[in-house]
């Protein structure tokens, strides 16, 4: 009878250890998913900042091109 009780005790301890290992693995994978999502969101924010900067640069170049075009047209008009 003592052998059965020891076997039951070993089984319970093994089950508890397995449950703890499963929970630990679950917690780690959840942390990893949250961390990966945070990296993706930060990367997206940085990409948006770079894109906004590029759009501003293109707008500025367009304005400069328009001014140069106007100067060229007026210079050509004076020569004619």
CA distances from 70 to 19, 53, 58, 66, 73 (A): 76, 26, 18, 6, 5
CA distances from 55 to 11, 35, 41, 67, 73 (A): 65, 30, 21, 19, 27
The pTM score is: 0.60
Interval 36-65 mean pLDDT: 98
Interval 35-62 mean pLDDT: 98
Q: What is the mean pLDDT of the chain?
A: 93
Tell me the per-residue pLDDT of 5-26, one tens digit each, with 9 for 90 and over: 888 999 999 999 999 999 999 9
Interval 51-68 mean pLDDT: 97
CA distances from 68 to 56, 64, 79, 80 (A): 18, 6, 17, 19
């Amino acid at each position: 009878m003592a052998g059965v009780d020891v076997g039951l005790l070993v089984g319970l301890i093994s089950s508890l250890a397995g449950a703890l290992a499963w929970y630990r693995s679950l917690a780690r994978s959840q942390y990893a998913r949250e961390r990966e999502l945070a990296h993706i969101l930060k990367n997206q924010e940085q990409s948006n900042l770079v894109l906004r900067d590029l759009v501003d640069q293109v707008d500025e170049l367009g304005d400069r091109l328009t001014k140069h075009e106007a100067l060229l047209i007026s210079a050509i008009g004076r020569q004619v």
